[in-house]
Chain A
Amino acid sequence: MTRIEVLKTYKLYIGGQFPRTESGRYYPLLDKKKNVIANICLSSRKDFRNAVVAARGAFGGWSGRAAFNRSQILYRIAEMLETRKAQFIEELLLQGATKSQAEKEVTLAVDRLVYYSGWCDKFTAVFSSVNPVQSSHFNFSVPEPTGVVAAVASEDSSLIGLVSVIAPIIAGGNTCIVLASESKPLCAVTFGEVLATSDLPGGVVNILTGNAGELISHMASHMDVNALVYCGSDKATIKSAQELSALNVKRFFNWSLNWNDGSSQNPYLICDLQEIKTTWHPIENIGTGGAKY
């Protein structure tokens, strides 16, 4: 008798835990032959709001970490993903990818994490400035993370779209809630398991599955979310999300990029979710002759 396979229950990833949706709702994920691959959580507004609480709670600690430490944690995520390549390839195959497409997507995702790992302790130097003001003050400007970011990942891909949106957000010290591709959610949930074993503090990344059309208005209108990233191109969605973003002057970004393309990874995505802080302090004005040798 053949062994009965143990199937995995696909759940959400909120605050470092793997809860089911509080709503009890699900949608079946079907393969090409209409067989059920898994019952996926259909996240509710309440799940999103719980995730915002987790993300807000994690923000102070994550943004306060040394940039080198964040860099190492992003690198650790890449290591964990690399060692679990087989599982992600299997899930991509289940969701309709070819073997070569699947392999390419997973390795690209690993490399993308390594790319942003490197930026963690470098973008600040590239985008900061010391400003030579006229008066006797020391004046400098540095980027600081915007805060809690909600994101709708690309519908087109299961893994690379998700990783490509999460990495620049957290590399810069933000925390986030990401809604995975509705039609290709498997890798998102499994990526949560990677994150959970990568020394990433709980709540820094929260992953939901469900319907973007249902959730994006709640993401855009939430008063404790500082920014919204939408990785899609639907014009009506962009318009309504931008309108609702005005409620708390939320920063809105439409990252409608081809994540398979190398140019889609760049430090300007990190900068989108940074605020520039300028600090002034007086300089004592004694010894105005200056150094004479």
Chain B
Amino acid sequence: MSKKSKPEITLNFNQGWQYAPAPESSDHIRLEKKYGHFINGEFVAPASGKYFTSYNPSNEKPLADVGKGDARDMDKAVKAAKTAYDKVWKKMPAAERGKYLYRIARMIQERARELAVIESMDGGKPIRESRDIDVPLAAAHFFYYAGWADKLEYAFPGRTPEPLGVAGQIIPWNFPLLMAAWKIAPALACGNTVVLKPAESTPLTAMKLAEIIRDSGLPPGVVNIVNGFGDAGAALVNHKDVAKIAFTGSTDVGKIIQKAVAGTGKKLTLELGGKAANIVFEDAPLDQAVEGIINGIFFNQGHVCCAGSRLFVQEGVADKLIRKLKDRIETLRVGDPLDKNTDVGAINSKEQLEKISYYIGLGKEEGAEMWQPSGNIPQTGYFCRPTLFLNASQSHRIVQEEIFGPVLTIQTFRTVEEVIEKANNIPYGLSAGVWTDKGSRIFNLTGKLRAGVVWANTYNKFDPVSPFGGYKESGFGREGGVQGLAAYLKI
């Protein structure tokens, strides 16, 4: 039955792959030269009078100055949130609370284009992603939780859930607007008020969201946004009037926060790092798997906690899959985040680029075989070539540690048992991917992989109705879905 295999067709990437630039215009966006904080319904200057600059990582040009918050600003914001909780928000009929969230969802949709462009300028992600994923999902998140506000008793059988009070929320720089929505929407729907600290490298869409919140007529103090660095975050975590802390970020910082909250009775949810296994079996639809692998690791430059950063390929298809993967990576366009043809945008900051470069150097030292595509990357701004490490082994640090960049390690395996063992043998447990045509194997794997989200024959899909969060050192608590309500309620 054996057929003579056809000669391999080799793609030539040096010609015929030129694209004309297709930049999204940034003419229509409105950015102030200077932003302070949003406290008690107003934009206010930081107590210190100090500002820092938010840069565009794709060209290193300054975008705006942003207030450097400290404990005084946090105290003011928490007090405003506490007053708003006691005097207004917890007394408001739940259905009315929900209607404010619907308004915010609608206004995000109305200003979607502006938000997407600013998100790409401030954070470096391709406009294709901010336009089609970040901003629509942020609006959808508000819309989804709006409807929960007056239905909470249906979510917890036998219980009458109560709000907690002031929620302190700290978000990362990889999905600035979307993470703000993930945090604010369920907190408000459940009847809490909020103090949010955006990441220092990506504060601008949070300030635009503050404008929307102001324009929506939401009562002053219900949402407060204070900009700043880690010390501002610490002041929020340690504030005595905060009843709940929600944090998304690195496992290292998550552990510091968990320790800081010890003994205070504050409710805590943590969405931390990951190092997901993306597992391809011999019977998988290989072309689709290649797309899934690409989306798994190069989506948002790999700045994704659930990135599929550890590829496991069953031996029989390893050569073929890796060849297809390399060919596909050769076609990826790394460049201007505002160009609609761009697949991989700018690394979020100089610090992050240095960290990724460190790991790429480390991978070579550890003995894994590095591969990068031949195309050019821009000379100014912070850019990184999509990078593969072949023949990586389980003990390599590039396999064990979260790199948070466009770097994929590749290991092969023979048996189902072996790959389950390898996939789980890591402190993280946020997400995983499985590629196979065999239904029973999918359910076997999804049951045995110790991770909060498992994508089978797909990867990096998100939806407000779908709970997201980790096992083990990837954190605890869920965001999204009915399960996401528990983080903001006394049950």
Contact = CB atoms under 8 A, between A and B. Distances in A.
A281 B442 contact: yes
Contacts of B446: 277, 279
Contact of B454 (A133, A239, A266, A280): A280
A226 B429 CA distance: 12
Contacts of B491: 268
A129 B466 CA distance: 9
Contact of A132 (B158, B465, B478): B465
Contact of B456 (A133, A248, A280): A280
Interface in B425-466: 427, 442, 446-447, 450-458, 461, 463, 465-466
Nearest to B478: A276
Interface in A79-122: none
Contacts of B259: 242-243, 246
Contacts of A133: 461, 463, 465-466
A124 interface: no
Nearest to A245: B258
Interface stretch (A65-73, A135-143, A164-172): A135-143
A105 B216 CA distance: 57
Interface string A258-293: 000000001010000001111111100000000000
Nearest to A129: B482
Contacts of B476: 249, 251, 275
Contacts of B452: 275-278
Interface in B459-489: 461, 463, 465-469, 471-476, 478, 481-483
A131 interface: yes
A281 B427 CA distance: 26
Nearest to B462: A133
Residue from A126, A131, A241, A282 having most chain B Cβ neighbours under 10 A? A131
A226 B466 CA distance: 24
Given A141-B483, A278-B454, A242 B262 contact: yes
A247 interface: yes
A239 B457 contact: no
A218 B455 CA distance: 36
B258 A280 contact: no
B262 A239 contact: yes
Contacts of A247: 255
A35 interface: no
A33 interface: no
A281 B457 contact: yes
A109 B251 CA distance: 40
Given A129-B482, A141-B483, A277-B452, A246 B255 contact: yes
A246 B471 CA distance: 14
Contact of B463 (A135, A275, A279, A282): A135
B436 to A, nearest CB: 11
Contacts of B261: 242
A100 B447 CA distance: 47
A238 interface: yes
Residue from A241, A275, A278, A281 having most chain B Cβ neighbours under 10 A? A278
Given A249-B473, A278-B454, A131 B481 contact: yes
B432 to A, nearest CB: 10
A163 to B, nearest CB: 22
Contact of A248 (B454, B457, B473): B473
A98 to B, nearest CB: 33
A146 B470 CA distance: 11
A214 to B, nearest CB: 20
B272 interface: yes
A132 B464 CA distance: 10
Contact of B251 (A126, A245, A249, A268): A249
Contacts of B263: 235-236, 238-240, 242-243
A134 interface: yes
Contacts of A134: 140, 463
A251 B258 CA distance: 10
A211 B140 CA distance: 52
A272 to B, nearest CB: 10
Interface string B252-275: 001110110111000000101000
A71 to B, nearest CB: 19
Given A137-B461, A249-B255, A278-B452, A126 B140 contact: no
B132 to A, nearest CB: 12
A134 B137 CA distance: 10
A67 to B, nearest CB: 13
Given A133-B461, A137-B461, A278 B467 contact: yes
A277 B469 CA distance: 8
B481 A243 contact: no
B355 interface: no
B454 A279 contact: yes
B422 interface: no
A139 B465 CA distance: 9
Interface string A135-156: 1010101001011000000000
Residue from A134, A243, A248 having most chain B Cβ neighbours under 10 A? A134
B477 to A, nearest CB: 9
Nearest to B272: A249
A280 B466 CA distance: 9
B473 A135 contact: no
B111 interface: no
A141 B467 contact: yes
B307 to A, nearest CB: 16
Contacts of B159: 268
A133 B458 CA distance: 14
B254 A249 contact: yes
Contacts of A242: 258-259, 261-263
A115 to B, nearest CB: 14
Contact of A281 (B458, B469, B471, B474): B458
B271 to A, nearest CB: 11
Contacts of A147: 450, 472
27 contacts: A131-B463, A131-B481, A134-B140, A135-B463, A137-B458, A141-B466, A141-B467, A146-B471, A147-B450, A235-B263, A242-B258, A242-B261, A243-B262, A243-B263, A245-B262, A246-B262, A249-B254, A249-B270, A249-B272, A251-B476, A275-B471, A276-B478, A277-B453, A278-B466, A278-B481, A279-B456, A281-B456
Interface of B: 140, 157-159, 251, 254-256, 258-259, 261-263, 270, 272, 427, 442, 446-447, 450-458, 461, 463, 465-469, 471-476, 478, 481-483, 491
Interface of A: 126, 129, 131-135, 137, 139, 141, 144, 146-147, 226, 235-236, 238-243, 245-249, 251, 266, 268, 275-282
The 7 closest A-B pairs by CB, nearest first: A239-B263, A242-B262, A246-B258, A133-B463, A246-B259, A243-B262, A131-B465
